Homo-oligomer: A and B are copies of this chain.
Amino acid sequence: MKDKDINQMFLSIGIKNTKHRRDIIKILDASNKPLSVEEIYLLLKENNSSINLSTVYRTMEKLIEKNIIIQNNPFNDNIYRYQMCKDKHRHHIVCIKCSKIVEIEECPFKDFEDKIKKETGFDIENHKFEIYGYCNNCKKNKE
């Protein structure tokens, strides 16, 4: 994501444009998997950008509120992970052993949502799907 686009984004959602926020957006945008606050914090440090953990947390909160990112459920470790809301709705598969995360091409739940809506009467807003297994490397020695 280019600086110009990032500036434009902050302007359009009406939040202040700070270096920390630009850096965080770049990191999330460049990542091919959801990142935890800790991971973002460490990546920022590597890039010589000194930042406080609470600031990362507060930025996540703000970006969720503005629908720029979404918060994923913890896998099994009680740690939230975050990813950009891309145009396309995405799911991921997670390796139980090495925690490798791979994006899944398609989301097959639209039809299912309609069905559930009829069955339960709920107005459906969102869903989360996570799938677990052993990746190519780890499946040889599942231990």
Which B residues are in CB contact (< 8 Å) with A142?
123
Q: Looking across the interface, which residue of chain B has its beta carbon closest to that of A130?
A: B128
Distance to closest chain B CB from A136 (angstroms): 4
Interface size on A, residues (CB 8 A): 38
Q: Looking across the interface, which residue of chain B has its beta carbon closest to that of A117?
A: B133
A93 touches B122 (CB 8 A): yes
B127 touches A130 (CB 8 A): yes
Which B residues are in CB contact (< 8 Å) with A126?
131-133
B119 touches A104 (CB 8 A): yes
Q: Looking across the interface, which residue of chain B has its beta carbon closest to that of A137?
A: B121
Spell out A's residues near B (CB within 8 Å). 71, 73-76, 78, 80, 93, 95-96, 102, 104-105, 108, 112-113, 116-117, 119-136, 139, 142
Which 7 A-B pairs rank lowest in CB-CB distance, beginning with the nearest? Answer: A124-B133, A122-B133, A127-B131, A73-B73, A121-B136, A123-B134, A123-B139
Give 24 A-B contacts (CB < 8 Å), ordered by A residue. A73-B74, A73-B130, A74-B74, A78-B78, A93-B120, A96-B125, A102-B120, A102-B122, A104-B120, A105-B119, A108-B108, A120-B135, A121-B135, A121-B136, A122-B131, A122-B136, A123-B133, A124-B132, A125-B132, A127-B129, A127-B130, A127-B131, A128-B128, A128-B132
